[in-house]
Amino acid sequence: MTPRVLSGIQPSGNLHIGNYLGALGNWVKIQHDYESIFCIVDLHAITVYQKPEELRSKVREIAALFLAAGIDPRHSRIVVQSAVAAHAELAWLLTCVTPMGWLERMTQFKAKAAAQESVGDGLFQYPVLMAADILLYQANIVPVGEDQMQHLELARDIAQRFNSLYGDTFTMPATRLPLVGARVMGLDEPTTKMSKSASGTGHAVALLDPPERIKKTIMRATTDSGSGVDFETMGPGVQNLLNIFQAFSDWTNDQMKAHFSGMRYGDLKKQVAEMTISKLEPIQKRYADITADPAYLESILKDGANAVRPTADATVRLVKERMGIYTETA
């Protein structure tokens, strides 16, 4: 059987080159080797307040970016989480087998809760909903970044607990894809991962940034006190710029060394900016074409939800039967 890959992304903030080089670009490359489901998790996004109009447009923006980046909708499913009611339904059923103590240990909950004045219960339940996303489709592989590993581990724990209470029901998801993405760091702060939610104009290059802005952000990137590229002694800022270039170009280490050794930082940045702009240009062009035809985009989302709904509904039905919950007789 073809392994099923599932991943999710929140429709908040702006997709950036870190998302592309670390995840989306790889999904595009490997999508045909798997049965792929890419979820736009709007129910997760509302665990912190979102302006309704922005949320509405973000979902479509992300879907269009997936397509523009090369996700093939005839093969891979792009699914808006809320369009498949089974996500929320399974989340409740799983909530009832999840000890609060497990959720209290989640470091992301602790960090997010500390940043909120009023902490919604949704924020606490966030990892259960994520477990539901994954277990609903019996996904085999869930490619996520380091920051989501604890949530994935929890999904496995919940699956295991359910299986032992009610009998074998859920597949255990693994994490790794054969292709490991680049880890792109913040351009203003090269010791922390580039983030969708970080504010500050010099932090990230968004996939939809115009060329002048891309150039400006990269030219202002933090480097170190050296003046030219030295592969032995470079700091995290220079390393990050080289990483970005290499991930976009697919150059070998030898090619990178031969080309960049001794290069002045200003010239390095110029070349990273040019490379980035040239790689984002075709994506931006396709994005413009796709968003010019809203009916097309709607049809992709509709098809995606329709295609996965039978699997999702079958899982919920099985879970209900196992738990003794009422199910309508067919």
Choice between 87 and 215, CB closer to ligand TRP: 87
Q: What is the DSSP string of 242-268?
A: HHHHHHHH---HHHHHHHHTT-BHHHH
What's the min distance (Å) between Cβ of 88 and ligand TRP? 12
Instruction: Give me the sheet containing 4-9, strands edge to edge.
Output: 4-9, 35-40, 77-80
Of 5-13, 21-29, 249-257, 292-300, the window that binds ligand TRP (rule: CB under 6 A) is: 5-13
135 contacts ligand TRP (rule: CB under 6 A)? no
What's the min distance (Å) between Cβ of 84 and ligand TRP? 12
8 contacts ligand TRP (rule: CB under 6 A)? yes
Backbone angles phi, psi at 170, to 5 degrees: -110, 145
Of 16-24, 144-152, 205-213, 220-228, the window that binds ligand TRP (rule: CB under 6 A) is: 144-152
158 contacts ligand TRP (rule: CB under 6 A)? no
Choice between 139 and 280, CB closer to ligand TRP: 139
Among positions 5, 10, 91, 136, the unique one binding ligand TRP when judged by CB under 6 A: 10
Choice between 8 and 190, CB closer to ligand TRP: 8
Q: How many Cβ atoms are within 10 Å of 218's Cβ, its own excluded?
A: 24
144 contacts ligand TRP (rule: CB under 6 A)? yes
Of 27-35, 127-135, 201-209, 273-281, the window that binds ligand TRP (rule: CB under 6 A) is: 127-135
Given the residues 29, 196, 279, 285, the one annotated as active site: 196
Q: Which residue is nearest to ligand TRP (CB)?
A: 8
Kindly report the CA angle at 22 between 47 and 158, in degrees rounded to 5? 45
Q: How many Cβ atoms are within 10 Å of 261's Cβ, its own excluded?
A: 12
Choice between 196 and 216, CB closer to ligand TRP: 196
Among positions 17, 21, 40, 44, the unique one binding ligand TRP when judged by CB under 6 A: 44
Distance, in Å, from the CA atom of 159 to the CA atom of 168, rounded to the nearest integer, reads 9
Q: By CB under 6 A, how many residues form the interface with ligand TRP?
A: 14
Active site residue 196: yes
142 contacts ligand TRP (rule: CB under 6 A)? yes
Amino acid at position 69, single letter: A
Active site residue 216: no
Q: In 122-148, which positions are buried (b, 16+ CB within 10 angstroms) versus exposed (e)?
A: ebbbbbbbbbbbbbbbbbbbbbbeeeb
Of 6-14, 51-59, 158-166, 242-250, the window that binds ligand TRP (rule: CB under 6 A) is: 6-14
What's the min distance (Å) between Cβ of 34 and ligand TRP? 14
Tokens at 139, concatenated: 């996904």
Active site residue 51: no
Choice between 8 and 18, CB closer to ligand TRP: 8
Helices (H), 179-264: 211-219, 236-249, 253-260
SS3 277: helix
> Do 142 and 104 touch, CB atoms closer than 8 A?
no
> Do 134 and 142 touch, CB atoms closer than 8 A?
yes
Distance, in Å, from the CA atom of 178 to the CA atom of 176, rounded to the nearest integer, reads 6
Among positions 5, 15, 21, 41, the unique one binding ligand TRP when judged by CB under 6 A: 41
What's the min distance (Å) between Cβ of 152 and ligand TRP? 7
Distance, in Å, from the CA atom of 72 to the CA atom of 266, rounded to the nearest integer, reads 38
Residue 37 is classified by DSSP as: E
Place of tokens 């890419």: 38
Among positions 68, 134, 135, 319, the unique one binding ligand TRP when judged by CB under 6 A: 134
Tokens at 323, concatenated: 């738990």
Query: Where on the chain is the footprint of ligand TRP (CB under 6 A)?
Result: 6-8, 10, 39, 41, 44, 130, 133-134, 142, 144, 148, 151
